Homo-oligomer: A and B are copies of this chain.
Amino acid sequence: MGWGDLGAFGEPSKETPNLDQMAAEGMLFLDFYTANPLCSPSRAALLTGRLPVRNGFYTTNAHARNAYTPQDMVGGIPDSELLLPELLKKAGYTNKIIGKWHLGHRPQFHPLKHGFDEWFGSPNCHFGPYDNRELPNIPVYRDWEMIGRYYEDFKINLKTGEANLTQLYLQEALDFISKQQASQQPFFLYWAIDATHAPVYASKQFLGTSQRGLYGDAVREIDDSIGKILRHLQQLGISENTFVFFTSDNGAALISAPRQGGSNGPFLCGKQTTFEGGMREPAIAWWPGHIPAGGVSHQLGSVMDLFSTSLSLAGLQPPRDRQIDGIDLLPVILQGQLIDRPIFYYRGNEMMAVRVGLYKAHYWTWSNSWEELGKGIDFCPGQSVSGVTTHTQEEHTHLPLLFHLGRDPGEKYPLSFASEEYQRAVERISRVVQQHKDTLVPGQPQLNVCDKAVMNWSPPGCEKLGKCLKAPESDPKKCSWPH
């Protein structure tokens, strides 16, 4: 989902009454970022509070390439990483993930081995391979065992876009919350739905209800579900004890537009890029009785802050034996403070850009390659800013491209290198970058090796379902990451 996909963020169809209401009752973050312009690394960052380059969710197979966890990915979240649910357990929390995990699908990466107590969902997104007799479809798990596969047992009609998955995820959420309330146990729910990811889907009752086509139908269903979750918390009388945060793991994928792609509002490009459209996200914090209603914050925030903020809410300290990139947002949310901190925009192993205050410096630019563009793949459709949306990887480390995101949120007008404003801002940013690079200890890259043998041929539970498949011989290869 992109920054511009909610009514509260200026989507012109304004079809998200529940999320808009959530914002009206809570706090809207206008300058909130994901940790990567792609799914898996962002989710690893959310749960570890650490940049993908630290937690291993990146590739060194090629320079500045986005990578994730397809089904033949050998790597996943290392045991050495401490995940938010692992830490929350110490404070008595029950942790559940509903939906997409995406931090590796081999047995050792199972979410219940990394702090979660319950799971309903899948290791991967619901995109391919599907309906493919040569390769296993994506399994759907309940806790330790597969209970079926996407497309086979959990239907997604690629022709009509109909699938009732969001409704299943919603019911799981409501049931889990009820159970926790009944047992008076604190809980962490990671509601990781994926309906706006291509192939986009929505339930029958939402199909055709949006001005925006199937993508808008999916957004409406998510919006409706979140409204139901918030109301459920209120009806159970635990809304004042429950902190809720809504955000996304990357900007809208403009390659899926116009039928399956969302909106990044006034921002440049989208998913896969380190322009604002790829990494600035809608974000709303909600906690009635604690967060003043109708608040708006310009705090530079990150999905990694949800790690630190959640620990703080649970009365826990963040780990001290490693660098944590997330910050505790409670002073921002509860007292309206503004904390000075940078935002780093990475693509794989390369820091492409950094934001300090209202300035953003690009050290590398790349939208996508000429070769891909020739094949119709375009991460910036209809947008072309000379020297900025480059189709070769362009280095600017000696003279970064500088934008003032207040005057120029769309990154169209680099500041003049000769201006005093440029000199002053780049000096300040350079110090931040130097410090970041000097202290950076990159993690072991997890997204380098692919092997069809590790795909989900026979997950636990397959026997009961008669769905065990035979894996091929192992044949590990460097994964290819074109973007």
Q: Are B10 and A265 in contact (CB under 8 A)?
A: yes
Q: Are A210 and B14 in contact (CB under 8 A)?
A: no
Chain B residue nearest in CB terms to A410: B382
Chain B residue numbers with a CB within 8 Å of A440 are none
Chain B residue numbers with a CB within 8 Å of A215 are 407
Give the interface segment out of A117-125, A230-238, A256-264. A256-264
Query: Is A107's CB within 8 Å of the partner chain B?
Result: no
Q: Are B211 and A14 in contact (CB under 8 A)?
A: no
Query: Is A30's CB within 8 Å of the partner chain B?
Result: yes
Q: Which of B9, B30, B263, B413 contacts A257 (CB 8 A)?
A: B413
Chain B residue numbers with a CB within 8 Å of A216 are 406-407
Chain B residue nearest in CB terms to A210: B406
Q: Are A382 and B385 in contact (CB under 8 A)?
A: yes
Query: Is A351's CB within 8 Å of the partner chain B?
Result: no
Chain B residue numbers with a CB within 8 Å of A212 are 406-407
- Within the complex, the shortest CB–CB distance from A202 to chain B, in Å, comes to 14
Chain B residue nearest in CB terms to A30: B12
Chain B residue numbers with a CB within 8 Å of A410 are 382
Chain B residue nearest in CB terms to A214: B407
Chain B residue numbers with a CB within 8 Å of A14 are 28, 30, 296
Query: Is A213's CB within 8 Å of the partner chain B?
Result: yes
Q: Are A358 and B263 in contact (CB under 8 A)?
A: no
Q: Which of B12, B30, B358 contacts A266 (CB 8 A)?
A: B12
Q: Are A408 and B10 in contact (CB under 8 A)?
A: no
In the complex where A266-B4, A382-B384 touch, is A412 in contact with B30 (Cβ < 8 A)?
no
Chain B residue nearest in CB terms to A409: B12
Q: Are B211 and A358 in contact (CB under 8 A)?
A: yes
Contact with B along A403-447 (1 / 0, CB 8 A): 011111110110000000000000000000000000000000000
Query: Is A13's CB within 8 Å of the partner chain B?
Result: yes
Of the listed residues A7, A10, A210, A298, the one surrounded by the most CB atoms of chain B closer than 10 A to its CB is A10
Query: Is A482's CB within 8 Å of the partner chain B?
Result: no
Q: Are A412 and B10 in contact (CB under 8 A)?
A: no
Interface members, chain A 374-414 (any B CB < 8 Å)? 381-385, 404-410, 412-413
Chain B residue numbers with a CB within 8 Å of A409 are 12, 263
Contact with B along A292-304 (1 / 0, CB 8 A): 0000101000000
Chain B residue numbers with a CB within 8 Å of A385 are 382
Instruction: Please classify how large the interface on chain A is, using the bins under 10, 10 to 19, 20 to 34, 35 or more.
Output: 35 or more
Query: Is A224's CB within 8 Å of the partner chain B?
Result: no
Q: Are B11 and A10 in contact (CB under 8 A)?
A: yes
- Within the complex, the shortest CB–CB distance from A159 to chain B, in Å, comes to 16
Interface members, chain A 209-223 (any B CB < 8 Å)? 210-213, 215-216
Chain B residue numbers with a CB within 8 Å of A210 are 406
Chain B residue numbers with a CB within 8 Å of A211 are 298, 358, 406-407
Q: Are B10 and A10 in contact (CB under 8 A)?
A: yes
Interface members, chain A 92-141 (any B CB < 8 Å)? none
A216 to B406, CA, bound (A): 9
A409 to B407, CA, bound (A): 23
Chain B residue numbers with a CB within 8 Å of A265 are 4, 10, 12, 265-266
Query: Can you list 23 A-B pairs, Cβ within 8 angstroms, ordered by A?
Result: A3-B12, A9-B10, A10-B11, A10-B265, A11-B266, A12-B30, A13-B406, A14-B30, A211-B358, A211-B406, A212-B407, A213-B407, A216-B406, A257-B413, A258-B404, A258-B407, A258-B413, A259-B407, A263-B266, A382-B383, A382-B384, A382-B385, A383-B383
Contact with B along A30-71 (1 / 0, CB 8 A): 110000000000000000000000000000000000000000
A383 to B9, CA, bound (A): 21
Q: Are B412 and A382 in contact (CB under 8 A)?
A: yes
Chain B residue numbers with a CB within 8 Å of A10 are 4, 9-11, 265-266
A10 to B405, CA, bound (A): 15
A409 to B11, CA, bound (A): 9
A440 to B410, CA, bound (A): 40
A404 to B12, CA, bound (A): 13
Contact with B along A227-259 (1 / 0, CB 8 A): 000000000000000000000000000000111
